[in-house]
Amino acid sequence: MYRSFDCAADFIDAAREMAVTGRPALARLLAEEAADRTPDADAAARILAAFPGPSPRQEG
C-alpha cells in the first residue's frame, strides 16, 4: 500500500508504527522529520521526547 507523507502527523503515525514493531532507530528518524516540519518549538520537543534515543542521522 502506498503511503503519503504530507505533514508532520504522517511522520508521527509512521514513527509510532515503527516503535511498536521494534524499530526504534527508524521511529526516531521519522520523529525527527516530524519535529523538523513542526513550526512550534514546544510541540517539536514533545515529539522528540516521545521517541527518545540518539539521533541516527548522519548530517554532513
Residue 34 pLDDT: 97
Residue 56 pLDDT: 77
Residue 59 pLDDT: 66
pLDDT by position in tens, the chain (length 60): 677 888 999 999 999 999 999 999 999 999 999 999 999 999 999 999 999 988 877 765
Alpha-carbon gap, residue 20 to 16, rounded angstroms: 6
